[in-house]
Amino acid sequence: MENVISSQTSVRVVDIKGIRKAIPHRYPFLLIDKVEILEEDKRAVGTKMVTINEPFFQGHFPEHPVMPGVLIMEALAQAACVMLLSKGGYENKIAYFMGIEEAKFRNPVFPGTELKLHVEVLRLGRAGKFKGEAKIGDKIAAEGVMTFALVDKEAS
């Protein structure tokens, strides 16, 4: 169920039900819990509550659990896709990752972390581009510029 936090802020919050409607990802690959759309088609902040129960911690690394950087990038991409695909008109679309540029991993993400996924659209169309920063408080955990293609679900 989507709701608006306040009529004054116009922030649209997409909860887990809305996320599951917008993107096809499911356990164990659904990596976001909530997305707050700050400006439609422009900016959003997703939330990932990282817990020790994540399946990737079994092997990365059992004695020193750290969230893999590539999964942090995937979480950023999922937040961007929810921002775009959760509004009306995109029910028959799916987004495919096309590339990652300027990826940097700055701070490790451990179990117990609330990871904030800041995404900003740089270009929107059949092929789009966005910038993402995953943050732990004020510290950047990972960042990068990602491209994606919007395609019809039937064509995929």
Backbone angles phi, psi at 96, to 5 degrees: -115, 135
SS3 154: helix
150 CB contacts (<8 Å, ≥6 apart)? 84, 90, 93, 94, 95, 125, 126, 127, 128
2 pLDDT more than 80: no
The CA radius of gyration of the chain, in Å to the nearest whole number, is: 15
Q: Does 64 participate in catalysis according to the annotation?
A: no
Tokens of 111: 């179990």
CA–CA gap between residue 101 and residue 131 (Å, rounded): 9
Q: Where are the alpha helices (DSSP H) in the chain?
A: 16-22, 69-85
Provide mean pLDDT across the span 65-85.
97
Count of structural domains within the chain = 1
Does residue 61 have a cis peptide bond before it, meaning omega lies within 30 degrees of 0? yes
pLDDT of res. 29: 97
Provide, rounded to the nearest whole percent, the portion of the chain with pLDDT above 90: 87
- Catalytic, out of 25, 60, 64, 118: 60
Segments forming the whole domain that contains residue 15: 3-155
Instruction: Please indicate whether residue 81 or residue 154 has the higher confidence score (pLDDT).
Output: 81
pLDDT digits (tens, 9 = 90+) for 108-145: 999 999 999 999 999 998 899 999 999 999 999 999 99
CATH code of the domain containing 16: 3.10.129.10
6 pLDDT more than 50: no
First to last CA, the chain: 27
